[in-house]
Structure 1
Amino acid sequence: MSGKLRDRHTPDKMDAWARLQRASGVVLSRVEARLKADGFPPLGWYDVLLELQRSEGMALRPVEIEKRTLLAQYNVSRMIERIAAAGYVEKRKTAEDGRGVMIHLLPDGEDLLKDMWPAYKRAVEAEFSIHLDDDETRILWHMLGKLLP
């Protein structure tokens, strides 16, 4: 070995992939824990309600929710049932297809979004933002953008 010290391990792309997955899971778990400690439902609920709020007519088919949130279909179906049971959304049959359903955001769901936002923002700041300076944030944003369609 030469006179200069080498890293004990030089990461390759698989190492980076694994670290990205671990970091994402750890940060999401910590954000979820903070929301729970503040008395809020899981982060997935926020994501579903937000996508409904952003949509035309504040309604989406379950498959559209699945695509927009990147949750697995079986998770989306169960989550929608729980969110509906809590009174934040309503399932309605579609006019053009009697078997199809649309998920509609209810006023209580909009209120929950407004109430959750400050706690969610604080949690992201504490578990993510505080660890990055402005340059690192910009670099990470660009790097992750390369992975998106």
Structure 2
Amino acid sequence: MEDHPNARAELFADDADPGMGANRVWFNLLRIHRSTGARIARALREIGVGDPVWYEILLELERAGPEGMAMAALERKLFTTQYALSRHAARLEEEGWISSASAPGPGRGKVLRLTEAGKGKYMEIWAVYSEAIAEEIGARLSVDEAYELARVLIRLYD
């Protein structure tokens, strides 16, 4: 393909099907995730972070304060499944960064809290994460483009 700024846009000029736009968004989001996600995850593994979502978990628990956060609430906030969050929580607990306890009341719910070792850990992770994001995404978008794209993407899950 020609390396011209409008070359890719011209590929879409003949789309007659109105549903194709949404399809293209979906598949391009998947491709972006695959092309940049692996490199970002590799950079995080170099500092002992098993998965990029660990940053989000630690950040939300930091925001929750000493009372912690119920796993069910964290699942909803991060748009993740109970199984995946349980697996990540177990690994974070093995690292010594969080603790878990039974939630008060009936049921099998858990509350997650940061340990002393976990406090501020998200900032260490963010230093690596933000550098990788800047290299992979920030170098390709202007500040205005980045904020506009973020606003549009938020509408997809808000």
Give the AA of the match of 2:116: P
Deviation at 1:64, TM superposition (A): 1.3
Q: CA 1:78 to 1:148, structure 2 compared with 1: closer, same or farther past 3 Å?
A: closer
Q: What SS does structure 2 have at the residue aligned with 1:108?
A: coil
Q: CA 1:142 to 1:116, structure 2 compared with 1: closer, same or farther past 3 Å?
A: closer
Correspondence for 1:65 among 55, 63, 74: 74
Q: How many residue pairs align between the two structures? A: 145
Q: Which residue of 1 aligns with 2:88?
A: 79
TM-score by length of 1: 0.82
Give per-residue Cα distances to partners, 1:43-90, cap 9 Å, x unaligned. 121111111111143511111121122222211111111111221111
* RMSD between superposed Cα atoms in Å: 2.4
Q: Which residue of 2 aligns with 1:7?
A: 10
Partners of 2:11 and 2:105 lie apart in 1 by 62
Assess if the C-alpha contact under 8 Å between 1:32 and 1:42 holds in 2.
yes
TM-score by length of 2: 0.78
Q: What SS does structure 2 have at the residue aligned with 1:115?
A: helix
Any unmatched runs of 5+ in structure 2?
1-8
Partners of 1:84 and 1:17 lie apart in 2 by 34
Any unmatched runs of 5+ in structure 1?
1-5
Percent of counterpart pairs with the same letter?
Answer: 24
Q: Which residue of 2 aligns with 1:21?
A: 30
Higher percent of residues as helix: 1
